[in-house]
Amino acid sequence: MNKRGHVLNGLLLALGLGFIVEPGLDTATATTVAEITVPVVLGALFPDVDTAFGRHRKTLHSLPVLAVFLAYPIVFGNLQYVWIGVLTHYLLDVVGSRRGIALFHPLSDKEYGLPSGVTTSSKYADLVTVIITAIELAGFWAIHTYVVTLDLDLSAASQAAAGLGL
């Protein structure tokens, strides 16, 4: 996917996640959307920093990088929701783009993708982004509803990590 698609994905995700975490049409929902927007969009753009150094879709498009962003809020108590932007960036590149990404870099440079994608310059790139974002939001709703609450308060997890000396 192209940069425009990743920004569109991040913005739509932040809006949707705001309503999933804090349903309603009130200031609490607006505050939640505001708190989620910057981290999700930054996370959605971060993997493409590897266009300035390293090898694009390899250096910062891998599972070890995602693991760092998943662990960060638990260990340090900040950067919540950045991992969602990184994860959805990967999903857009795997599902929405023809090329795919090197999920196991640096161990392997093999790129994984689905044949469902379009080229980054396709006139359908935005449509594919919106469809994938809707599917991602449905997944996050299901996770939030049935598995674990996607809450902004990770203080308990941070305290547990501090108790472990992390």
pLDDT of 152 higher than 70:
no
Q: Looking at residues 124-128, what average pLDDT do you find?
A: 92
DSSP character at residue 122: -
CA distance 166 to 164: 6
pLDDT of 156 higher than 70:
no
> CB under 8 Å to 32, separation ≥6 — which residues?
18, 21, 22, 152
Question: 164: which 2 tokens?
Answer: 């472990």
Q: Looking at residues 144-149, what average pLDDT do you find?
A: 91
Question: Angle at CA 52, nearest 5°, toward 57 and 99?
Answer: 20
pTM for the whole thing? 0.84
Question: 107: which 2 tokens?
Answer: 């161990």
> CB under 8 Å to 107, separation ≥6 — which residues?
none
Q: What is the pLDDT of residue 154?
A: 45
Give the range of the structural domain holding residue 92, as residue numbers without chain letter.
Answer: 3-164
**Count of structural domains within the chain:** 1
Positive or negative: CA dihedral 75, 78, 80, 82: negative
pLDDT of 104 higher than 50:
yes
Q: Across the chain, what does the average pLDDT equal? A: 87
pLDDT of 2 higher than 60:
yes
Q: Among residues of the chain, what percentage have pLDDT more than 90? A: 61
**Phi then psi for 155, rounded to 5 degrees?**
-60, -35
**Phi then psi for 154, rounded to 5 degrees?**
-105, 20
pLDDT of 54 higher than 90:
no
More confident residue, 48 or 74: 48
> CB under 8 Å to 74, separation ≥6 — which residues?
154, 157, 158, 160, 161
More confident residue, 74 or 67: 67
Please write the tens of the pLDDT for every residue from 69-82.
998 888 877 788 89
pLDDT of 161 higher than 60:
no
